[in-house]
Amino acid sequence: MLLLTACPAATTPGPVATPSSRPATLGANDVFEVRIYQEPDLSGSYRIASDGTIVFPLLGTLQVAGMTPPEVADLITRRLRDGYIKNPQVTLAIKEYNSKKISVLGAVSKPGEYPYVEDMSIVSAIAQAGGFTRVSAPNETTVTRVVDQKEVRITVRVDDIGKGREKNFALVPGDIVVVPESIF
């Protein structure tokens, strides 16, 4: 069961933004791997610079920040087709979303900020943070998310997810997960 409560900044919570099927956009310090079929010298890993660019063999500097992975693969394909490779087959895989973060705070073993990974769930985020402590209240976990420029707080019953009573909850970049301590 998910419960919505408004943060002080939000007067009326709107519908909760759920992760869309559109991949997240890339930003500074994200790392991805490009593979070009039968072109091992052009294949490799790339970290996006602080100015949003990568330097790609043959193509030089490419502005990729703000683009989705499929858009970057399409850009590289089009540019390689323009005089370099007849029919390039480009695939792109995200290795690290360092520009997108989620925070896990409260009664977990390793509270902190963690890189967002595509299709990240609340269970995987809490596992990454070392799991619950002995004094945590998993069914009172909240997720703070910005929806239509307002903060919305969503209560997620994580213990019930683990027992199969609830579906796992998908996170989006920027979410703040707070696991409170149990009163008892």
If asked whether residues 73 and 120 sit together in one domain, one would say: no
- Average pLDDT, stretch 98-109? 93
Whether pLDDT at 139 is above 70: yes
Are the beta carbons of 135 and 109 closer than 8 angstroms? no
CATH number of the domain that residue 165 is part of: 3.10.560.10
Assign 3-state DSSP to the chain and report helix, strand, coil percentages, each to 5: 15, 35, 50
Does residue 25 fall inside a structural domain? Answer: no
Average pLDDT, the chain: 86
pTM: predicted TM-score of the whole model, two decimal places: 0.63
Does residue 130 fall inside a structural domain? Answer: yes
- Average pLDDT, stretch 95-124? 91
pLDDT at 22: 54
Number of Cβ within 10 Å of residue 33's Cβ equals 13
- Average pLDDT, stretch 40-57? 95
Does residue 26 fall inside a structural domain? Answer: no
Number of structural domains the chain divides into: 2
Query: 50 is in which domain, residue-wise?
Result: 31-96
If asked whether residues 124 and 155 sit together in one domain, one would say: yes
**DSSP assignment, residue 60?**
E
pLDDT in tens, 3-44: 333 344 333 333 444 444 456 789 999 999 999 999 999 999
CA distance 64 to 46: 11
**DSSP assignment, residue 180?**
P
Does residue 81 fall inside a structural domain? Answer: yes
If asked whether residues 172 and 124 sit together in one domain, one would say: yes
pLDDT in tens, 54-83: 999 999 999 999 999 999 999 999 999 998
pLDDT at 15: 40
If asked whether residues 108 and 174 sit together in one domain, one would say: yes
The two three-digit tokens of residue 31, written as one number? 């790392």
CA distance 98 to 26: 9
CATH number of the domain that residue 90 is part of: 3.30.1950.10
Report residue 96's pLDDT band, with 50, 70 and 90 as the boundaries: confident
If asked whether residues 120 and 133 sit together in one domain, one would say: yes
If asked whether residues 105 and 164 sit together in one domain, one would say: yes
pLDDT at 17: 47
Does residue 22 fall inside a structural domain? Answer: no
If asked whether residues 90 and 35 sit together in one domain, one would say: yes
pLDDT in tens, 143-183: 999 888 899 999 999 999 989 999 999 998 889 999 999 88
Does residue 43 fall inside a structural domain? Answer: yes
Does residue 117 fall inside a structural domain? Answer: yes
If asked whether residues 114 and 78 sit together in one domain, one would say: no
